[in-house]
Structure 1
């Protein structure tokens, strides 16, 4: 059974381009699948990635094969699947393997992020999927992971089992490397086979994991496929929707709506679209000893992946009345971003992104000229931008790419009505506050619509088993099957040993 290579590369050609292949298809000859080349340039280097682009008929055949392989996956104890994932992640964390070296060389060129940010980001992502974390993942949603293996007794009587979908389809965004791991691992844990559509912006990570998993445990080799096609290919999208039981989509609202229209009735769409995240800084974090460290944590949340993740803060509400004022905190934050730029330089922006940043600055400059209490920190050519606002308003979507607003408030409670106005898109709130303030503010933050509260500085590294957008990572994928007490009682009446 031949499998396509995940990330095989060669030395740069005469055109100074590395060559790589992405995608993973078990049980089908690679030569039978069309390859299309995606070209990436950054840091003065180029990568040409050949991705696997099936026809609708090939995708339908692949889906049928993957669904058949799910029966073998379903028969495995969930703890053996956990061990296979853990061993795969351990191999991916090894710094000296050829595959890891190639990934560290290629991902910065493909994503544009700095090599150091990419290396640290890969490690942070992979460490979230080791065995201890996977067990927490399972217990968080199921309590008893044995529900995935067999019927388990219920406290009120009867029995219950959790059954994963025969085919879980993934449509990944490419804004943050490593994003596909969340849905791929979740699918495997509930014993669902999977077909993933790679992003045109980052096609390597999912391929790397699928290839590694197949080598580590051949019993799982046929349970995954990773392919590519450009968005809007009606035939391929219809073929995927026709065969998938559950479709998990990461992307913009328009893309999610398009996938929803293609999904037949009775099938489920689990979507993760646009979200807005903010930071809250209490006066207890703004004394002369703590304020600089608080500013650095906020700066790290802003610069990691250049705010491309939904959990990255775009606005920070900062409390007045402390030793360090909100305006001074904004200056500390600007200084930290300038300092960290030397270690983690911002990636080169596309024309559309540069235009968005310029427009963001121009809009705020006009407001400043009209007498609004706004101060822009950072020169127009700085790879970051901070806007300080003495009068708070609703959290503002920024231009991302290390742009943020700092808003002064008399108390953090004053920010709650402003957060509530963004209820539909509010996700993560990063908090720098005392324990008393944490538990006083948490109910108000929850009431405002947020789905995650974490420490400032930890916004971009969600914990294993987090409730992404307020939903369950694993429970949303399964259907629960109950054996009611009546069935058990009736069966007893028909037993060979009945009275």
Structure 2
């Protein structure tokens, strides 16, 4: 199969998974063109400057994925298959059924290029030419220490994301609720905090309404005993504080742990315990980096409302890898520079050809 036929088959399979967002063959080929210079450069020599070049995929690729966001695993697999590599994917111990379902939709010639397992065979580690690792900082450090010299290592670690509502107009709260709630807030693109220019306290009340509405149509995933304990502890702490401090307000789902909204009149970034627990804070005018110090360097995405250049300029100095409309944080385009890096370019090697033009 050439690149175009692989892209077509992958796009048809991806259409069955709304969590992947829009994914056409043209989208995938455009990523190849943007990152490698030519949509057909994996198929043969193509013009490259005054000469020619061809890209060869590293193969096999080893994907080590986590269980919190199945779309990240699917995206990684799609990229590896688009390149034409053999792919070996280590799934979390509980598995990811979406990966098996996706593979079942591919033609045999492409499906045979992927193997999945909840264990990690030693030969996978020995033979892989590139490792793509998703997980905590500890997980990434563990596998980085095991990678042999010369192996390409592509880490995707823990990141923080946030939202900025520069003008709390109708629709902003519903957009924020969607981004917070999807995947139980466990993805690197899930906002922990929503910052507001204007009346942040009023927006917190509106966001609580929107979180309740979203939960009514898309209930949260079950939480573990430990996760439930964390939510109870956070709620108890802010319930106590709000009783004597008007600068703090707690909104929580009734008789459940479905969602929690915390208003706090302090711009210092607060890390959420996840599972639809979000903080609403006033935007720190002047020098936002001072309030966001704990996450500078680990900022994945910022969702802005409205999505206008002047609003993007407010957050651009924080150097997130992505600025996008609030409500679309969980659906990055395939051309997104994940963590500020290209996704395909590090998984190929190049052969240059200087033609004899005499």
Q: Is the shorter-chain TM-score for this pair beyond 0.5, marking a shared fold?
A: yes
- Among 82, 94, 112, the alignment partner of 1:201 is 94
The answer (yes or no) to whether the contact 1:302–1:402 under 8 Å persists in 2 is: yes
TM-score calculated relative to the size of structure 1: 0.67
Q: How many corresponding residue pairs?
A: 357
Unaligned runs of 5+ in 2: none
| Alpha-carbon separation, structure 2, partners of 1:314 and 1:88 | 32
Structure 1 position 181 matched with structure 2 position 80: no
| Alpha-carbon separation, structure 1, partners of 2:34 and 2:159 | 23
**TM-fit CA distance, 1:380:** 7.3
| Alpha-carbon separation, structure 2, partners of 1:266 and 1:326 | 50
Structure 1 position 225 matched with structure 2 position 115: yes
The answer (yes or no) to whether the contact 1:147–1:162 under 8 Å persists in 2 is: yes
**TM-fit CA distance, 1:434:** 5.9
**TM-fit CA distance, 1:426:** 0.9
**Cα distance 1:332–1:244, how it changes in 2: closer, same or farther (>3 A)?**
same
**TM-fit CA distance, 1:212:** 2.1
- Among 266, 275, 281, the alignment partner of 2:150 is 266
Richer in helix (by share): 1
| Alpha-carbon separation, structure 1, partners of 2:346 and 2:241 | 45
Q: How does 1:10-159 map to 2 (within 5 A)?
A: 76-90=1-15, 93=16, 122-125=17-20, 127-155=21-49, 157-159=50-52
The equivalent of 1:28 in structure 2 is none
Unaligned runs of 5+ in 1: 1-75, 94-121, 493-497
TM-score calculated relative to the size of structure 2: 0.92
- Comparing 127-136 with 370-379, greater Cα deviation is found at 370-379
Task: After superposition, give the CA deviation of every residue in 1:355-399 in whole Å (9 maximum; x if it has no partner).
Answer: 111222234345556758322122674421111111211x21111
**TM-fit CA distance, 1:448:** 1.5
Task: After superposition, give the CA deviation of every residue in 1:192-225 in whole Å (9 maximum; x if it has no partner).
Answer: 1111112223431111222221xx2x32243211
The answer (yes or no) to whether the contact 2:307–2:324 under 8 Å persists in 1 is: no
Structure 1 position 171 matched with structure 2 position 45: no
SS of residue in 1 equivalent to 2:53: strand
Structure 1 position 455 matched with structure 2 position 325: yes
Q: How does 1:301-312 map to 2 (within 5 A)?
A: 301-312=179-190
Query: Quick check: which has more Rg, 1 or 2?
Result: 1
**Cα distance 1:481–1:447, how it changes in 2: closer, same or farther (>3 A)?**
farther
Task: After superposition, give the CA deviation of every residue in 1:321-359 in whole Å (9 maximum; x if it has no partner).
Answer: xxxx21110000001112222211222211011011122
SS of residue in 2 equivalent to 1:309: coil
Calculate the aligned-residue CA RMSD, in Å: 2.3
